[in-house]
Amino acid sequence: MDRMSDLDERLAVLHDELAAVPGVVVAFSGGVDSGVVLAAAVHALGADRVVAATAVSPSLPAPERAAAVEFARSLGVRHEQPATDELSRAGYVANAGDRCFFCKAELVDVLTPLAAELGIADVVTGTNADDVRVGFRPGIRAATERGAWAPLARAGMTKDDVREAARQWGLALADKPAAACLASRIAYGVPVSAQRLARVEAAEAALRTALTAAGLLVRNLRVRDLGSIRGLQTARVEVDLPRVADLVARPELLAGVAGFGRVEVDLRGFRSGSMNELLPDPVRYR
């Protein structure tokens, strides 16, 4: 059986999983995974039985929220934007290796009563089969413990499957780069605050603008807040590997990374989840 036939089979399972419930609230971050879940739910249930819910907090970049609004509108679904307050959770602020547990707990604790108010029993997430295979995923555990479930994972759909499905369905976010929350830019052990989140968001926006103006287009860009190193607030910039040398050669472009005493470019280039490399023992946070 070829890959496309395998995908068709998994998409059929995804459809059946969603069609088996009366309605769903989809935890919609604006990314491709939860976007495919949202589109699949519309295919299986109809737009009137599906609600997209995008949590609004200081950890959500403004462009991501705007894109989520537009995508939900394109599918014709109701779109709720409840506020979440991760910063009220001590475990989230402490920013140890299990920060994502407290973030996802806050999300599901907000979405569950919202779903109940709408007469919907099922809250679903965009977790895919590859996510489940990775041991270090405290957020998945928090969601599962609270009764949210993952249609993509149940259907065995990998990251590549999700991208291919989005392309087949002509979804606007099919080729959208990964966009984790702003808290993922802050090194573990450095307390999360609204001020740090805003500083990272502003720095990334300013740097992307500067790179674009210089003709250096990048797909992936991160400004990582490493906290205080030798008395200086330090940022580490990651861009796509082919652009690293260009950025190093143009240090004036880093001027937009404001609020840090020291800004360094990571010569290894962008790596999703690179902050996890700094954890001494991720296994203990499973």
Task: For residue 136, give its domain range.
Answer: 3-168
pLDDT at 255 (0 to 100)? 94
Nearest one of 193, 163, 198 to 11, comparing CA atoms: 163
DSSP annotation of 107 = H
Same domain, 132 and 7: yes
Question: Is residue 105 within a helix (H) or strand (E), and if so which, with residue range?
Answer: helix 99-117
3-state SS, 198-265, equals: HHHHHHHHHHHHHHHHCCCCCCCEEEEEEEEECCEEEEEEEECHHHHHHHHHCHHHHHHCCCCCEEEE
pTM of the model: 0.91
Say how many domains are in the chain.
2
Q: How many residues can be counted in the chain?
A: 286
pLDDT by residue (tens digit) across 194-245?
999 999 999 999 999 999 999 999 999 999 999 999 999 999 999 999 999 9
Q: How far apart are CA 242 and CA 271, in angstroms?
A: 13
Place of tokens 């402490």: 94
CA–CA–CA angle 46, 119, 68 (5° rounding): 55
CATH of the domain at 145: 3.40.50.620
175 part of a folded domain? no
pLDDT beneath 50, residues of the chain? 1, 282-286
Which of residues 110, 133, 168 is at a domain's end?
Answer: 168
- What pLDDT sits at residue 134? 75
